[in-house]
Chains A and B, each alone.
Chain A
């Protein structure tokens, strides 16, 4: 981590001499695929995904962890990728919206439920909403509407499709319970990125 201090800090005055930018190699396992990339220590996870890997499904909205739009799963836990440094994810498993559907293209139950319940308008917050809901449903497989209200409170939607989102999450939970019961497949755990 000593390299971090050698990188120019943003906000300093104009007269400070600027040292050359340093980069470090890291290994990210994104949606099951290993990527080795060279990043500055200050590079955020969202920028590593969007800029270095060209995976633009994860959106950058506030840059301060305040809106949930950049939510991804890091080792299965939901995090806001705008306030996590990419170097902190070295060697870890990241799951993004691009990796949520099954390999054959079958949408995740949440993705299908979002269409049925008109749970999106402009769609900019949607990847974060869905990734957040994946982790929420893993921990609350039978949520009440009030649990969804609180459990999804960290994901802002300025179009305010919240009612549709709540219904979609509740509906997807039902579908996922039904499919787990009938097939016995642990799709929920897979969806939450626990399969690695």
Chain B
């Protein structure tokens, strides 16, 4: 609950469905994204990339590039020794093997798209001509594709005994021994295919070096401005006060713009070397081959239950395809391992996640970051268990859900010492709302009637928890200037979540000033605020609570000074809008800006820390699909989302995040797949080969809110950016499988493209035929 102070603000901004203040520039074409930035004398970069998944670099000859009109310079790795350090980062467990790439590969390339050389030119066309003219001679090596590997599999990195980088283990209760007491054990292998996040804005970077002040400023769309700044300092050997990272508008990120990539470092290094601003703007092909990919997990599960369908033990050994370097793969693996539990009673849990390297683009966090995989695995196993035990799929969930009287519920899981405790909520009530709103009780009759007409309907009803935050707190600075303007600074970035609006709502509410007086500054390493950035549904929780606390402290400071000036006790004052007045004698008043001015020439500033504690918001999905029995395409007939977003700041934005996440999940389940062929070549390198959900695929959603304030932070906030994605994976998969039940299919692998559904139907048919028909 919020800290109480005297003269609590009369405003009511938290919870208001308020239009976003940041929309207008973007609607008139005035949004400033990285690729829109122009500096005088700016040069353009193009990167030469490996066409091989695995090869030794024999020779790089840049001489022909230098003859291309407009080309200024060209560099291979050997020419830029100052940036040939591995990217900073550290394994979270001491026994892990950890390998990060260099900005340019020097000796070996390990995935298609890995950078080998860079060309600097007067314009982009010349830079790309120059890149085409660079001659690279490769000696191909055998590629390693997929996580099924053995002693004969080539090893990617010298000195490693195998491509296994790390094994993450999470255990509660008796772990795998918990299976001993089970009446029934279900074994299954479930696969979540590899995805690409595909934000609309391709990654880009602009670096400007001021020779006179020796200040380097790098502009790029990072979700982690402080981590990016620190990493650039480390890579370029520069002290912190000489490097500033500024985040322009971000055209979508979804997790893949959390880590630092090579191009920002290259641009920074060349801006310093050549004394000109440098810009690199990636293209869509680079977005497909260079930017982090995601998911790519295979799970081998044994689930033990009693005859009544109560889960006793869940044992899951899974493999994460990390790609060529495990720079960020462990985050999703930890998330999967701690999130499989979900909203259920699991007395014994044993999760083992192997992080395995292959010759493919590195994988890392993407919307949900290991949690969609976890929800998929748990929910599909509940489906299998229900089917085996002859229980209804909703019934088995009801029997296992944690009850509200058990809250807060300690799952027993520790994520690097941080306890996973489900703080507040009523999961059975949420699930009951899902069942009611989707028409679960009436569905089987509706389904039978539809099948009689040749229409294949299916239903999916699932539960999940959205873990928001990672247990790290942020700081925020609030300053009231002498004119009464309020400046809010935080160490996060926004890429469509609406921070300029929601953070202003928080500050207006807790400070008690007009909304219009508030300005939010984020995405700038020079704010001096602390925090790792925007990811893991953490920005509102970690930075939002810091803003609220700073606002409350600032209010107290200003009221104390106003009380002195007005010669009245604090609790005799009202602060509404611009003025602080003595309640009993309203003519005695002072403008809050004047009070701030009297406290210092720049007004008054306060820095406070937020609550970074993890909270868990319930989310349940109910979906009805229609599957075309001939084309095996899937149409969404009806979609219900019940979710607990805690204390909601702006319902308009929460709805947009929830639905947007769900549509992304829909694409993840039905359309999207980054395939590699057996030679290690990526098969989807353009949007016509990687189908994203469009308007025509997007159904209407019914949203139902629960309001259980999070106990993990003072404001009761929860993150909402990922729950829609997490929960839609198992929901839609369950529904599609239900629709195709007459064909006897079992759908264990995502995505459910028409081709995969066709293969599943055919496999089920041949199995039935070999078993002698449908007896």
Contacts and interface: CB of A to CB of B under 8 A. Distances in A.
B200 interface: yes
A134 interface: no
Interface string B249-286: 11111100000000000000000000000000001100
A162 B663 contact: yes
Contacts of A64: 284, 686-688
Contacts of A21: 69-70, 125-126
A20 interface: yes
Contacts of B655: 118
A17 B63 CA distance: 12
B69 A162 contact: no
Interface stretch (B5-13, B18-26, B351-359, B599-607): B18-26
Contact of B133 (A14, A66, A101, A155): A14
B61 interface: yes
A35 interface: no
Given A10-B129, A60-B35, A122 B201 contact: yes
Contact of B27 (A59, A66, A130, A159): A130
B28 A57 contact: yes
B27 A124 contact: no
Nearest to B495: A122
Interface in A51-101: 51, 54-64, 66-67, 69, 96-98, 100-101
Contacts of B550: none
Contact of A61 (B23, B133, B200): B200
B659 interface: yes
A98 B657 CA distance: 28
Contacts of B68: 8, 18
A158 B69 contact: no
B318 to A, nearest CB: 27
Contacts of A150: 696
B28 A111 contact: yes
Contact of A121 (B123, B283, B656): B656
B26 A162 contact: no
A55 B29 contact: yes
Contacts of B20: 115, 118
A50 B68 CA distance: 23
B200 A124 contact: yes
Nearest to B656: A118
Contacts of A66: 686-688
A15 B128 CA distance: 15
A165 interface: yes
A121 B249 contact: no
A153 B696 contact: yes
A59 B251 contact: yes
A164 interface: yes
Contacts of B65: 14
Interface residues of A, number: 69
Given A64-B686, A97-B29, A122-B252, A115 B19 contact: yes
B698 interface: yes
B694 A100 contact: no
B92 interface: no
A148 interface: yes
Contacts of A10: 128-129, 132
A18 B252 contact: no
Contacts of B686: 62, 64, 66
A189 interface: no
A32 interface: no
B27 A120 contact: yes
B695 interface: yes
B36 interface: yes
B664 A153 contact: no
B27 A156 contact: no
Nearest to A66: B687
A111 B27 contact: yes
B669 interface: no
Contacts of A152: 695
A161 B498 CA distance: 13
A127 interface: yes
B124 interface: yes
B134 interface: yes
A43 interface: yes
A57 B30 contact: yes
A20 B497 CA distance: 47
B663 A14 contact: no
A123 B31 contact: yes
B28 A63 contact: no
A43 B125 contact: yes
Interface string B315-331: 00000000000000000
A19 to B, nearest CB: 9
Interface string A1-42: 000000010111111011011000000000000000000101
A14 B31 CA distance: 38
A123 B696 CA distance: 20
Contacts of A137: none
A17 B128 CA distance: 15
A149 B696 contact: yes
A143 to B, nearest CB: 12
A154 B692 CA distance: 11
Q: Which 4 A/B pairs are nearest by Cβ-Cβ distance? A: A57-B29, A124-B251, A121-B496, A123-B26
25 contacts: A8-B68, A14-B134, A15-B64, A18-B67, A56-B35, A60-B35, A61-B202, A62-B687, A66-B687, A69-B200, A111-B28, A115-B20, A118-B655, A120-B26, A121-B498, A122-B253, A123-B26, A149-B696, A153-B694, A153-B696, A157-B200, A158-B664, A161-B660, A162-B694, A163-B701
Given A47-B125, A159-B660, 18 more contacts: A14-B65, A14-B135, A15-B64, A40-B125, A57-B29, A60-B35, A111-B27, A115-B20, A121-B252, A121-B657, A158-B199, A158-B252, A158-B254, A159-B252, A159-B656, A162-B695, A163-B701, A166-B695
Interface of A: 8, 10-15, 17-18, 20-21, 40, 42-43, 47, 50-51, 54-64, 66-67, 69, 96-98, 100-101, 107, 111, 114-116, 118, 120-127, 130, 148-150, 152-166
